């Protein structure tokens, strides 16, 4: 998919695109139950089509 300037647009991911365990992990991070380092360490156990833990934070 391209925009009017020729840039490639990525399809937006939704909750159904992620494992429930990963969503729960993010919920812990978002609500301060775990810190960023712990989130990244645990999220590194998950892969989703090449999506890395740091990319999850960006989405």
Phi–psi pair at 48, nearest 5 degrees: -140, 90
Closest-CA residue to 48 (of 17, 23, 21): 17
Residues above pLDDT 90, as percent of the chain: 32
- pTM here is 0.61
Work out the end-to-end distance of the chain between its first and last CA atoms, rounded to an integer number of angstroms. Answer: 18
Q: Please, are residues 56 and 26 in contact by the beta-carbon 8 Å criterion? A: yes
pLDDT, tens only, 37-46: 999 889 888 7
DSSP 14-42: -GGGS-HHHHHHHHHHHTTSS-HHHHHHH
Average pLDDT rounded to a whole number, residues 1-28: 82
Confidence of residue 57 (pLDDT cuts 50, 70, 90): low
């Amino acid at each position: 998919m391209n925009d009017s300037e020729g840039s490639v647009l990525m399809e937006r991911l939704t909750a159904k695109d992620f494992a429930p365990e990963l969503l729960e992990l993010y919920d812990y991070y978002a609500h301060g139950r775990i810190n960023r380092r712990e989130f990244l360490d645990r999220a590194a156990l998950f892969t989703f089509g090449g999506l890395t833990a740091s990319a999850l934070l960006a989405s």
